[in-house]
Chain A
Amino acid sequence: MIDIERLREKEARVITIGSYPAIIQSILDFDYLAKKAQPSVIAIIATGRNNERYFFGKKEILIPVYATTGAIPTKKKEQCTFFLNLSSGRRVLHSTQDLLDTFPNIAGGVIFAEGVPETHALTLYNKAVKNKQFIVGPSSIGLLIPGCLKLGAIGGVDMPQLTDAKLFSSGSVAVLSASGGMTNEIITTVVQLGKRVSFALSFGGERYPVTTPKDAFLAAENDPQTEAIVYFGELGGTDEHAIAALLCEKKITKKVICYIAGAIAEMFETPPQFGHAKALAATQEETAAGKRKVLQAAGADVASSYTEFIDLITALPNASEELENVADVAHGLRERQKSLISTSISGDKDGQPHLLNEDLLTFTNNNSFATVVASLFLGKKVKSKELELFVDFVLRLLVDHGPYVSGAMNTIITARAGRDLVSSLSAGLLTIGPRFGGAINQAAENWLRGVADTKSPGAFVEEFASKRKYISGIGHKKYRVDLPDPRVVEIKKFAEKLSVKKYTTFALGVEKITAAKKGNLILNVDGAIAAVLLDILSEKEKIDEQELQRLTEIEFFNAFFVLSRSVGFISHFLDQKRLDEGLFRLPDHLVTQADFDEE
């Protein structure tokens, strides 16, 4: 059951299932015009990109997109209070159940799709009743509470529609209908006639709306701001008989004005199937005339024509208070244009350069290089000393590993070919990839997945072995279990001060198994950095698993190697120039002619 007054007080945090940009944008416009500090839509479940861009006022914002409910951070799940299901009819049951089962604070939501199988709607009905949640729909245009909540396309998707319909101050007329189009038509009529809407709800024209017309009437009766109910009904079904019963039992005491469409059907022996699935009268009581009669007898003001319906609405008292005009604000938003790029880390504010919302000089004066780097890489300010110290150490540690490695070689060769600094550095950087320097990210993916799947290290190793794949983060050319890599020893010290360190523990568990098979299959620098970094981010920076997953997807963990080793490459370039080495060419004896055995 919907408690409208409670919803007015609730801060709306909406997750949409599926994306319908025009509808989502209209909700954000509504929020902005209602002077909300934040947009109400906070997440989208859809395939495609990681974010969708929308306007909040003139400003562009990014709303995160997740492929599944499982990919949504727990914190975000907890924030969500409403859902808007924009997916197709056949997906409604599964996606709604999934959401209701995994989001702890959902008060209710709206289902937009038409063509939801009847039994699916009934399953959701039983679930909603059991969980004391509300679901409006299927095939609902939405629920609208002026100034508070716009859940769906209801009220329009065009800015002038929102302002014309005066949806930002609450009135006293509740608009209820199965028909989405008529809900909006009546909202427009009510406002044009000088009244204001207390709330509007379209329960959808399908046979089994989860929120029944009866529920919607009771919600209006219980809403202290509603004084009159304007209802548009159609032939088909027996909902109006239930409403009439409520009136007779005095469970509805507020004024009820209604129009029941479908008189035209009386002309035909076999009437046409009208637009809504339910709009077909099988028995006399389901005809428009039958419904009018019973509502009239129960005391509702039943219009015999649409003209009379408008007259009845006109007779309602006008809204008294002078309402503020939002049209000017809306007008100012017309010119808004989509930006070419979006950024979340830096830019000018009042003409001054800013990093992460702090003035550049303040930011640089107060923070170490490691903090600046880690903060910009993360896209938000580092909170912990632990991360700062570790990043500082890693940046120093990875600077150079001699001229022998691929990247340094390429830089040296390019420098000796007479090229400039940036070309030589780029040549070195271009070698960084899966075999050279790019293993930290892969190692991070490994440890994340291992911990997330709650596999034993043994099972994890077995999985790789059965596929004959190497485990990134494990194995070294020189060092062995009895000759430990001194750098790894240092890295591991940073984990000692942590309390949970689940990623490091897991990585060490894997090492124990692999090193027992072969002495050099030890945790290497890449694997150790990945594990410790994951632990610090998780424990000290409070970054949850889904977000860590996203960091691996964007190659965050490799960034430290790229930055640090750039120092090394630049140094090799300068060194070669100082030494003034000539053009490099391999002596013949260092090249083998490979013969392929054709047989």
Chain B
Amino acid sequence: MARKKISEYRAKQILTKALELPYEGVCVDADHLLQHESIDSNKLYVVKVDEGVKKRMKQGLVLLKQTAKEIPQAIVSLQQKGYTHFIIEQFIPHEKTEEKYLSLSLTREGIVVLYSDKGGIDVEEKQETIKKIVISNDKEKSRSDLSSIAWFRDDKRKEIAAKLIEIFNKYHFTLLEINPLVITKDSIYFLDIAAEVDNAAEFFVDAAWKDEDYRESDRRTKTEEEEAIEKLSQKSQASFKLEVLNADGSVFMLLSGGGASIVLADEVYNVGHGKELANYGEYSGNPNAEEVYLYTKNLISLLLKSKAQKKVLIIAGGVANFTDVRLTFAGIIKALDAEKDALRDQNIKVFVRRGGPHQKEGLANMQNFLQKEALLGNVSGPEMPLQEIVTLALKTI
């Protein structure tokens, strides 16, 4: 659970719908192919990458004033840069001076509103023009708070800002950056939007946004193993994470616990083997044996695929509060057992350090299995300091 960027297309749909404004943007990706009937051959368009990328204009990921005929070629040119999600909107002619900057972000103190009269792509270089106010969580107070920025003293603008704050709260946005924002006599244009939502609140937004709207800034294609773990995590009460850092790395880690997993990954880096670290990941929240089996199976699949000469598997975690070591280890052993021959062929040793409920039985089972299958590096309980298992394991590569 964390903050997630959502597509500009979805953010604009939510905003325009709530403000009762028309929106004619078109989303183009693998699931939504370009529909020529929605493009007017007499108008000019903007074609943009819609993947939560920062500084698109400067990176050439926004193509302005495209005619209907030019759009397919524009998309192809962006696809060649490795992008897959696009948004097509009508080009809105306007003066540079009309460009405003408005950003809302959630903090503990309330919603931080940033505003600048001089919006546009280079707003960051005009820090001194940015005004800041914090809208307290108290709904009554929030309207009056706005008045401290002169620009909002205009009734219409104040109304828009108040409405945006309402939408921001209602749909659990954590960031809403509109730049440029153009307000003319007749309408409001959100030319570019960057939006982030709190994905823990998906249940409460009535499908206004959902997981298919998430846009990762990391565009690296995921391995099938990572995708399998993402699905596993979505379906489980417990939590699973797996990210490949170096597919041909030599140090593979099967870790438990959000905090301990960073300590252990840190240790690999601290002793100078960071580049060889193949993955980061962790499971926590007392998963059942079957889930841990699936998690381990995917990790072993990555481990066996790695082209590194020497490889090692570290299974480690802190002293768990309520994750059952015996049960989770049963899942790990089952997965190791299924690939024991391949692991032995590649001369991979397994290093284990763990504590928690039923640690005695869990560690003993692990020790027996690894010994029997000639995979044993080391098996230790809490008597061994957490990071030491990494030092031991790294000695073998």
Contacts and interface: CB of A to CB of B under 8 A. Distances in A.
Given A161-B356, A264-B269, A272-B280, A181 B256 contact: yes
Contacts of B318: 181-182, 184-185, 188
Given A115-B200, A264-B274, A232 B108 contact: no
Contacts of B241: 272-275
A155 B321 contact: yes
Interface string B265-303: 111111000110100101011000000000000000000
Interface in A73-132: 89-90, 114-120, 122-123, 125-126
B21 interface: no
A243 B3 CA distance: 24
9 closest A-B pairs by beta carbon, nearest first, are A275-B258, A179-B259, A181-B257, A185-B318, A182-B259, A117-B201, A158-B357, A261-B262, A153-B322
A235 B243 CA distance: 18
Interface in A150-176: 152-158, 160-161
B357 A306 contact: no
Interface in A526-552: none
Counting chain A CB atoms within 10 Å of each CB, which of B198, B284, B285, B321 scores highest?
B321
A178 interface: yes
B358 interface: yes
B108 A181 contact: no
A90 B1 CA distance: 12
25 contacts: A115-B200, A117-B198, A118-B201, A119-B106, A141-B322, A156-B321, A156-B322, A158-B359, A178-B259, A180-B257, A181-B319, A184-B318, A184-B321, A188-B318, A234-B262, A263-B266, A266-B269, A267-B275, A270-B217, A272-B280, A273-B2, A274-B261, A305-B266, A305-B270, A306-B385
Secondary structure of the B contact surface, majority rule? mixed
Contacts of B355: 185, 188
Given A208-B108, A262-B262, A263-B269, A118 B174 contact: yes
B172 interface: yes
B386 A306 contact: yes
Given A181-B259, A272-B280, A116 B319 contact: no
A490 to B, nearest CB: 59
B386 A185 contact: yes
Nearest to A305: B270
A310 interface: yes
Say which size band chain B's interface belongs to: 35 or more
Nearest to B269: A264
A234 B261 CA distance: 11
Interface string A179-219: 11111110111001000000000000111100010000000
Contacts of A189: 385-386
A208 B201 CA distance: 14
A470 interface: no
A117 B385 CA distance: 35
A154 B321 contact: yes
A264 B55 CA distance: 26
Interface string A294-306: 0000000000011
B259 A205 contact: yes
Interface in A227-284: 232, 234-235, 259, 261-264, 266-268, 270, 272-277, 279-280
Contacts, number: 193
A300 B214 CA distance: 40
Nearest to B2: A277
Say which size band chain A's interface belongs to: 35 or more
Contacts of B245: 268, 272
Counting chain A CB atoms within 10 Å of each CB, which of B200, B218, B267 scores highest?
B200
Given A153-B322, A160-B360, A274-B261, A306 B218 contact: no
Contacts of A310: 385
Counting chain B CB atoms within 10 Å of each CB, which of A208, A266, A306 scores highest?
A306
A593 interface: no
B15 interface: no
Contacts of B358: 158
Interface string B240-264: 0101010000000000111111110
Contacts of B274: 264, 267
A278 B102 CA distance: 25
Contact of B262 (A206, A264, A277, A307): A264
A155 B260 CA distance: 16
Nearest to B237: A88
A306 B267 contact: yes
A118 B260 CA distance: 24
B148 interface: no
Contacts of A192: 382-383
A90 to B, nearest CB: 5
A264 B266 CA distance: 5
Given A267-B274, A305-B270, A118 B385 contact: no
A498 interface: no
Contacts of B383: 192
A177 B137 CA distance: 27
A312 interface: no
A126 B137 contact: yes
Counting chain A CB atoms within 10 Å of each CB, which of B265, B322, B356 scores highest?
B322
A123 B200 contact: no
B195 to A, nearest CB: 15
Interface in B135-165: 137
Contacts of B356: 156, 158, 161, 184
A361 interface: no
A482 to B, nearest CB: 62
Contacts of B265: 264
Given A188-B319, A263-B269, A305-B267, A117 B172 contact: yes
A93 to B, nearest CB: 10
A424 B381 CA distance: 67
B387 interface: yes
B360 A179 contact: no
B260 A179 contact: yes
A22 interface: yes
Contacts of B359: 158
A181 B320 contact: yes
Given A119-B169, A119-B198, 18 more contacts: A89-B1, A118-B198, A122-B137, A153-B321, A153-B322, A158-B359, A179-B257, A181-B260, A181-B318, A185-B257, A185-B260, A192-B382, A263-B269, A273-B241, A274-B280, A274-B282, A275-B262, A307-B387
A23 interface: yes
Contacts of A274: 241, 258, 261-262, 280, 282
Contacts of A187: 319
Contacts of B103: none
A116 B262 contact: no
Contacts of B263: 182, 259, 261, 306
Nearest to B360: A160
B280 A185 contact: no
